[in-house]
């Protein structure tokens, strides 16, 4: 797990995990030594010492004004927020997400939300939110301001496995899990060259066609097929098996499954290859402190999904 922290070398490193002796990168800050360190950036232990052995608090909470609320259904809204250009540039990153709550609510009402779209030139970020409990219901009542903390970067796993100049890119997406795709599409040549020859199967359950056209209407119509996964299946009967045969023959394909773990497992098992997918685990604090995102690996190590670059 060493050297796989999503925040290593970013603003805010070293973080609270370094202070508690649980740094994912630095051996000295996790009770060991520097002998097996392969980190190629600035020494995290040195940064920690220079900061008088204190964490660097970089992700400040800020109150952003609500420019627009787009109501797509009773239970699905998109909030368009005004933010400074630097914040919007950070938010225009694949896998970016923020914590959002009503400005007057207590801090534990913060809800992790993937950045749907960021527009640095306009100073706007778009957040798609489905009503699913007291946190989201509180946000739905707001029309003036929201409190936002971020930006965090680990909403997607498997980005490092994307192949350059893929022969085909196949995307399966369902509902609001589709949201991180917009940042991939807007990420410039770094990502666009990895999304060539696109085939997309999308279930617009809970978000609707109007939302899809507003945010993904630029996709080639011939590359997109609207389906109901639960009733019609993920795609045509032979498509997954075809992908599996291509993987066995060494084809350079990229597969994205922006849906629940159930669909991720189905696609990866049949296609025989890893997919870009939503990061599993409950994201409650974003810093790896609360423990909601943790699990134990096969060696008994505690893994913090919200911090681990996968």
Residues 148 and 163 in one domain: no
Length of the chain: 310
Q: Are strands 294-296 and 302-304 parallel, antiparallel or unpaired?
A: antiparallel
- Residue 238 located in a structural domain: yes
Q: Which of 56, 7, 2, 98 is nearest to 307 (CA)?
A: 7
- pLDDT for the residue numbered 63: 97
- Residue 240 located in a structural domain: yes
- Residue 138 located in a structural domain: yes
- Residue 234 located in a structural domain: yes
Structure tokens at 178: 């589709």
Residues 127 and 171 in one domain: no
Residues 131 and 170 in one domain: no
**How far is Cα 234 from Cα 77, in angstroms, rounded to an integer?**
26
Residues 183 and 219 in one domain: yes
Residues 222 and 130 in one domain: no
- pLDDT for the residue numbered 207: 95
- pLDDT for the residue numbered 66: 97
Q: Taking the C-alpha atoms of 243, 245, 249 and 253 in order, what is their torsion angle to the nearest 10 degrees?
A: 0
Residue at token pair 């957040």:
127
- pLDDT for the residue numbered 202: 95
Structure tokens at 134: 């007291």
- Residue 291 located in a structural domain: no
Q: pLDDT tens digits for the chain (310 residues)?
A: 455 788 888 877 888 888 888 888 888 888 788 876 778 888 888 888 887 777 766 688 999 999 999 999 999 999 999 999 999 999 998 899 999 999 999 888 999 999 999 999 999 999 999 998 899 999 999 999 999 998 999 899 988 878 877 778 899 999 999 999 998 888 655 566 667 788 899 999 889 999 999 999 988 888 899 999 988 888 765 777 777 677 666 666 788 999 999 999 988 888 777 889 998 877 888 888 888 888 887 778 778 888 887 7
- Residue 301 located in a structural domain: no
- Residue 54 located in a structural domain: no
pTM of the model: 0.87
Residues 133 and 230 in one domain: no
> Is the N-terminal amide bond of 242 cis, ω within 30° of 0?
no
Residues 200 and 271 in one domain: yes
Q: Are 43 and 189 in contact (CB under 8 A)?
A: no
**Residue 294: strand pairing partners:** 304
- Residue 35 located in a structural domain: no
| Residue at which a domain ends, from 118, 152, 186 | 152
Residues 144 and 162 in one domain: no
Sheet strands side by side (includes 253-258): 224-226, 198-203, 168-174, 253-258
Structure tokens at 297: 């690996």
**How far is Cα 95 from Cα 173, in angstroms, rounded to an integer?**
15
Residues 124 and 179 in one domain: no
| Residue at which a domain ends, from 97, 130, 152 | 152
Residues 113 and 186 in one domain: no
Count of domains observed in the chain = 2
Q: Which domain holds residue 111?
A: 61-152
Q: How many CB atoms lie within 10 A of CB 13?
A: 22
Residues 75 and 168 in one domain: no
Residues 182 and 145 in one domain: no
CATH code of 270's domain = 3.40.50.80
Reduce the secondary structure of the chain to three states and give it as a string: CCCCECCCCCCCCCCHHHHCCCCCCCCHHHCCCCCCCCCCCCCHHHHHHHCCCCCCCCCCEEEEEEEEEEEEECCEEEEEEECCHHHHHHHCCCCCEEEEEECCCCHHHCEEEEEEEEECCCCEEEEEEECCCHHHHHHHCCCCEEEEEEEECCCEECHHHCCCCCCEEEEEEEHHHHCCHHHHHCCCHHHHCCCCCEEEEEECCCCHHHHHHHHHCCCCHHHEEECCHHHHCCCCCCHHHHHHHHHHCCCCEEEEEECCHHHHHHHHHHHCCCCEEECCCCCCCCCCCCCCCEEECCCCCEEECCCECC
Q: Are 84 and 123 in contact (CB under 8 A)?
A: yes
């Amino acid at each position: 797990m060493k050297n796989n922290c999503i925040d290593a070398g970013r603003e805010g490193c070293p973080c609270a995990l370094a202070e508690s002796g649980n740094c994912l990168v630095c051996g000295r800050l996790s009770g060991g030594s520097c002998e097996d360190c392969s980190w190629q950036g600035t020494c995290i232990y040195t940064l920690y010492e220079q900061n008088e052995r204190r964490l660097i608090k970089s992700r400040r909470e800020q109150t952003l004004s609500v420019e627009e609320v787009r109501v797509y259904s009773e239970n699905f809204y998109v909030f368009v927020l005004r933010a400074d250009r630097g914040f919007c540039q950070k938010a225009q990153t694949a896998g970016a997400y923020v914590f959002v709550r009503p400005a007057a609510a207590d801090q534990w009402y913060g809800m992790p939300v993937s950045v749907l779209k960021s527009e640095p030139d306009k100073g706007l970020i778009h957040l798609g939110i489905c009503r699913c409990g007291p946190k989201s219901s509180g946000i739905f009542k707001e029309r003036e301001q929201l409190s936002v903390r971020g930006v965090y970067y680990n909403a997607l796993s498997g980005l490092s496995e994307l192949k350059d100049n893929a022969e085909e890119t196949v995307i399966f997406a369902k509902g609001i899990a589709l949201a991180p795709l917009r940042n991939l599409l807007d990420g410039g040549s770094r990502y666009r060259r990895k999304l060539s020859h696109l085939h997309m199967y999308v279930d617009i359950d809970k978000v609707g066609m109007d939302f899809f056209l507003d945010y993904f209407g630029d996709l080639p119509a011939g590359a997109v097929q609207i389906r109901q996964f639960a009733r019609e299946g993920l795609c045509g009967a032979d498509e997954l098996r075809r992908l599996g045969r291509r993987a066995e023959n060494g084809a350079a394909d990229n597969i994205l499954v922006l849906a629940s773990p159930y669909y991720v497992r189905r696609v990866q098992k049949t296609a025989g290859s890893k997919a870009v997918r939503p990061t599993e685990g409950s994201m409650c604090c974003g810093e790896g402190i609360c423990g909601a995102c943790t699990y134990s690996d096969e060696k008994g190590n505690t893994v913090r999904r919200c911090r681990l670059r996968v």
